[in-house]
Chain A
Amino acid sequence: MLEVESLTTRYGSISALRDVGLSVGAGEVVCLIGPNGAGKTTLLSTISGLLNPVSGSIRLENEEITSWSPDRILRSGLALVPEHRRIFGDLTVDENLLVGGVTVASARRLELKEEVISLFPVLGEKLATEAGYLSGGEAQQLAIGRALMSEPKILLMDEPALGLAPVLAEVVFELIDQLRQNGQTLLVVEQNARRILEVADRGYVMRSGNIVISGDSDELISRDDLFETYIGKTDSNHD
């Protein structure tokens, strides 16, 4: 579904990604873990077209999408739930969802909205509320629901549980599990490595702009050294 090869992205003269490779198969849930500043957000931003890489290639269903604009990449079936959610605070919940479905036909858009609401009943109760007034947990549901409105073939999520109380973070992990059971292909960045590895099929560990380890979740979970060396002990909840 998604193949990334030797991707390098710079901010000015600083390389935030160096020769990064990664792949996600159809129906797979893959996680990307690593400490602050590892380059996880940079990688997702480059894949979704917000940043242009200096070299390397990104393919979505065997189509070369490197350096396409974000809206074109979205139309090809890749959506991103960005870091810090970035929901439109001045727009209502309803309008946020509609913008999420801007690329689909209007009849389908309304169907999708119903589907998202049945997945997140809270959003249904707050359709007319300005999204800026939602609680953290509600806003996160909106961010994910909004991304699902485009019916993505693959959904990227950048720290969906960031800043949420443990109970609410748990809701997000359960949701990821549910999406996976629905057959949704997912690439999830998460700092709570142990918890996301329980849900994911495979994982990549990133550090200083490189992928340092990759493997099946079971295998990664059993490697205690991984947590000590690469991720530190911050794999509990953070904010």
Chain B
Amino acid sequence: MTELIQQIVDGLGRGGIYALIALGIAVIFGVMHLVNFAHGELITVSAYSAYGLFQAGWDWWLIAPAVILIAGMTSVVIEFLAFRWVRGAPDFTMLMTSFGIHFVVQALFVMYVSANFRQFPRPDWIFNTVKIAGISFEVFDVAVIFFTLLTLIATFWILQKTMFGISLRAAAEDFDAARLMGVRSDRIIRGAFALSGLLAGVAAVFWLMRSGQAGPTAGLTPMLKGVLAALIGGLGSLGGAVLGGVTLGLVEVMLISRLPEGLVGLTDGIVFLLIAFLFVFRPQGFISVRRAERV
């Protein structure tokens, strides 16, 4: 029982990070119909920023908020430099653009920084444990769950209660109808990229605290997990993205702790099989999205 609770907390910690990444991907998919494969680059940029700031002598307490801001700004800049030009283009064109950005950013880091991974120190507290109700948990998992919840609450508050959030959800459902109401497409798209970037930034902080390294492909795995989580949840559904992330995290932890020693390496493969299985029965993911056809 104790072990199961520990595993659930572990899974929620993992899943929380996936959820933040997936939510950012879902926000962009909602307004642009774009599966943003360049989303991982935000984490790559965050990783190098963290590395650079360490070199400059900063501490994690300052690096964390800085990384979140940098990720948010990078996201807006990528929209401005790349996606703005293919707005309204066929979905496939935008998909190719996102792959393009993914490879360009990777190449830039290889050329101008290094092809090798750079190490930086992890916070010294992340492997500490705390005892709650007689069960010991990793401080890190508890912190991730706490801050993820906080971030999700803030995000859903923005989406539900502010005019920006309501307009964004309206635009996600029917962009032209929203424009007919006076919603400015520029602002909504830029806002969506900023929000998605900030979410990726929060996820990046935790991802990097655990990995402690920056490399040109640092964002690849988190991006793939985020896309998977968004797909499981039902692409475009914001609640679904969170649900998908948490589910993915829990399933991974359950598999890792149950598979025999020699088979742990197959976790990702088994996860893929499970997902393929899910899509046979529910191709639209957990939550299906109602959407007007774009004209």
Contacts and interface: CB of A to CB of B under 8 A. Distances in A.
Contact of B174 (A70, A86, A102, A103): A86
A135 B169 CA distance: 22
Contacts of A106: 163
Most chain B beta-carbon neighbours within 10 Å: one of A48, A70, A103, A147:
A70
A88 B182 CA distance: 14
A48 B181 CA distance: 11
Contact of B290 (A48, A71, A79, A90): A90
B184 A98 contact: no
Closest 5 CB pairs of A and B: A103-B182, A74-B182, A86-B177, A70-B179, A99-B170
B289 to A, nearest CB: 8
A58 interface: no
Given A90-B173, A132-B290, A100 B166 contact: no
Given A90-B290, A98-B163, A98-B166, A150 B173 contact: no
A71 B177 contact: no
Residue of B167, B170, B295 most packed against chain A (CB within 10 A): B170
Most buried by A among B174, B176, B180, B292: B180
Interface string B56-84: 00000000000000000000000000000
A88 B184 contact: no
Contacts of A137: none
Contacts of B169: 88, 90-91, 95
Name the residue in A74, A88, A146, A150 with the highest tally of chain B Cβ atoms < 10 Å from its Cβ. Answer: A88
16 contacts: A48-B180, A50-B295, A70-B176, A71-B181, A74-B181, A74-B182, A80-B180, A82-B180, A86-B174, A88-B177, A91-B166, A91-B170, A99-B178, A102-B183, A103-B182, A150-B181
B290 A99 contact: no
B271 to A, nearest CB: 30
Contact of A82 (B170, B173, B177, B185): B177
Given A86-B292, A90-B290, A99-B170, A50 B181 contact: no
Nearest to A109: B163
Contacts of B167: 99, 102
B97 to A, nearest CB: 22
